[in-house]
Amino acid sequence: MTMSSFLLLILFLANLSISSFAQKIENCPDLDVLENQAEMTEEELNKLILCFCKQTSKEKVTISCLYGSNIDHLMKATDAVKNASLITSQISIQHMEFGETGLPEFSKLAPSLESLEIRECLEQTLRNLTIHSCNVLEIPKSINSLENLETLTFSSNKLESLKVEQFKNKKQLGYLDVSGNFITKIENDAFAPLTSLETLVIGEHNFINDSVVTEIGKLKALKTLDLSRADGVFEPPMKLFEDIPQIETLKLSGCSIAALEPGQFAVLKKLKELDLRVNLIENITAYSFDGLENLKRLSIAGNFISKLEPDVFFGLSSLEELDIGWNEIKDIDPEVFKPLIEKLTTLSLRNNPLTVLPSTGLTNIEKLSLSECRFTDINSINLSNYSKLNELDISKCNITKIEEDSFSAQKSTLKKLQLQKNKLKSLPNLVKNLPSIELLDVSSNPFICDAEIAHFVFGVEDRVKQEEENPTNFKILNANETLCDRPYTLRNEQVLQVETEKLQPYDEKSDTTTQPPTTTTQLIETTSTEFKIPDIFVGSKTNDTLFKEEPRRDVYDLSKADDAKGVFNQKGTYAVEITIGAIAIVSIIVVVAIILFMKNKNGKISADSSSTKKSPEKLEDGMVEIELDSNPSNRR
């Protein structure tokens, strides 16, 4: 056999082996087969997509998307491969229109993808490009020709510097995110082509030195600068502020700023949002924010501030939202908030060691957060100035009692009230007293389910009946966690599901029996009353603002620590049984040790009656052994 004949035989066998495992992939035809097909039905033509599947091995498929194809075609092709129990190993794309969504998430479309080829489409159509957490050492040269990019994200990679050629022809770029890298240098005029850049995110591990500051200062269209968690920021960069006085949003959270001095932000006349959360700030000098007459949102939460100077907020005449939570503030001078009286509508004092609600004089407050403070009670006098209050959060405090008229000043305005995780044993008829209430959370409190709490239950039932006639979306949040703690016969029962005849006057002296044994049961869901089902809201109506918690910073966000779980809802333990068992075991060990010692003593004395020196020695050893056996640490 000649060499040419041998090669032909190998090629024939290879083709034969491929054809032996090749199968038709429904809804994603093989282009070679399609070309040889004489006719197609109208139904087949309507289903035809411009991405084609070719099986290259027993399990692997290559998808080719041609001119005119789109993301929908690619998704249908990858779904067809999955439905055929095969895997997509290669994808080749030419002239595809990606639209506003940018490149798809190929890791989800084809988790086993080995090769990806994209040609003749990026330069003309690609608007948004994201390469996140891919260990990229520098921005690829292939991106240099993408002239129509509007957003570019290279976050959480391993970039050490930014170079001039990487941003050429990027006149349309409006958003750049290079956070989470190790940038220590930006070449001279690297940002010069970015004449349309409005948002720059360059914090999180990047080092803000002179070269970085100089290049950022050349971005004359910049409106939002995010330096959150950047290294090297020990004070507000005033030199940079002088170069970019036009910015409207400045984020400096998670840096190492220790103090604020007068006039440090004065040049930023157009600033609307300032984020200084989670720094090392202990002192804010009076007039530190002077000049920020357009500032609407300010957050200095998560610092070490213990005192607010009387003129600390001087100049903030337009401020609408203020967050000073997670500090060390024990009391507040009534004059502190005087510059904010007219415009401030949202105030957060959460997680401060405040024992009494201070007199702020802020009569226009609509949202007030006092969560995780040290209040023991709340009454109408404390809240008398807040007649416009819509939302009130006093959860996770030490409140033991709510008076009947506590919210009398908010009777017609209060829509959301959070009282969860306090020490409340009873409640007044909150629903009746607050006719405008829409969301109420009283979960995780040690309630006594008696005749007194029945008024609250009846009030909820009356509102539910009203909802059937005139719906207003009234809800009791976390109803499954609103449980009875006493009497023992009703412990862990849902307050709103206890039969009314069981809500009797409570006698603490007679309620001394241990909790009866319980078995695991399923909670009964009712479909007629909406309030008995817990409601969970996750981001449906939230905004990414300064006041959003940062889950990446555990030192600031302690919301995951459920400190109330198990405090008011404890089940029976085995402490008594374990103690009795331990005592019994110890007693047996001691008795056995004594018996063995006595036997050992008698035997040695009878065997060695003539030896008078060894007996005391053995006796001493025996006592030592008994002492060790009876030692509590050894018993464990």
Residue 115: pLDDT band (50, 70, 90) is: confident
Decide if pLDDT at 13 tops 50. no
pLDDT value at position 112?
A: 83
> Nearest-CA neighbor of 103 among 113, 31, 86?
113
Element (H, E) at 607: helix 575-607
Question: Domain segments of the chain: what residues?
Answer: 13-123, 381-512+521-536, 575-635
Rg (alpha carbons) of the chain, rounded to whole number: 36
Decide if pLDDT at 41 tops 90. no
pLDDT value at position 170?
A: 82
Task: Using the CB atoms, write b or e for 493-520: b if 16+ within 10 Å.
Answer: bbbbbbeeeebeebeeeeeeeeeeeeee
| Strand pairing report for 346-348 and 321-323 | parallel
- Cis status, amide bond into 487, omega within 30 of 0: yes
The CA distance from 242 to 265, in Å, is 10
> Which residue in this structure is represented by tokens 């109420």?
440
Q: If you ran DSSP here, which 8-state letter would residue 176 be given?
A: E
User: Which whole number is the average pLDDT over 141-156?
Assistant: 79
Decide if pLDDT at 7 tops 60. no
Handedness of CA 317, 319, 320, 326 (dihedral sign): negative
pLDDT value at position 39?
A: 56
585: phi then psi, degrees, rounded to nearest 5: -65, -45
pLDDT value at position 295?
A: 94
pLDDT in tens, 287-325: 999 989 999 999 999 999 998 888 899 989 999 999 999
Contact 286, 263 (CB under 8 A): no
Q: Which residues contact 95 (CB under 8 A, 6 or more apart)?
A: 66, 67, 68, 69, 119, 120, 121
The CA distance from 504 to 184, in Å, is 70
User: Which whole number is the average pLDDT over 87-114?
Assistant: 76
pLDDT value at position 43?
A: 58
Amino acid at 104: P
Six-digit token string for 269: 């006349």
Contact 339, 309 (CB under 8 A): no
> Which residue in this structure is represented by tokens 């001691």?
590
> Which residue in this structure is represented by tokens 């109803």?
479
239: phi then psi, degrees, rounded to nearest 5: -60, -40
- The CATH classification number of 381-512+521-536 equals 3.80.10.10
Lowest mean pLDDT among 303-307, 531-535, 596-600, 603-607: 531-535
pLDDT in tens, 403-453: 888 888 888 899 999 999 999 999 988 888 888 899 999 999 999 999 888
Query: Which residue did the predictor score with more confidence, 623 or 590?
Result: 590
pLDDT value at position 624?
A: 31
Six-digit token string for 343: 């415009």
The CA distance from 199 to 221, in Å, is 9
Of all residues in the chain, what percent carry a pLDDT higher than 90? 25
Q: What is the 3-state secondary structure (H, E, C) of 275-302?
A: ECCCCCCCEECCCCCCCCCCCCEEECCC
| Strand pairing report for 249-251 and 259-260 | unpaired
Residue 624 has a CB neighbour count (10 Å cut-off) of: 10
Q: What is the 3-state secondary structure (H, E, C) of 47-69?
A: HCCCEEEEECCCCEEEEEECCCC
Contact 16, 8 (CB under 8 A): no
- Helical pair 575-607 and 614-629, crossing angle rounded to 10 deg: 170
pLDDT value at position 320?
A: 94
Average per-residue pLDDT in the chain? 76
> Which residue in this structure is represented by tokens 């003129």?
311
Lowest mean pLDDT among 137-146, 155-164, 266-275: 137-146
The CA distance from 255 to 281, in Å, is 10
Note the pTM of the prediction, 2 decimals: 0.63
Handedness of CA 372, 373, 377, 381 (dihedral sign): negative
User: Which whole number is the average pLDDT over 52-68?
Assistant: 85
Decide if pLDDT at 153 tops 50. yes
> Nearest-CA neighbor of 275 among 239, 320, 322, 340?
322
Cα 521 off chain centre by: 31
- Strand, helix or coil at 155? coil
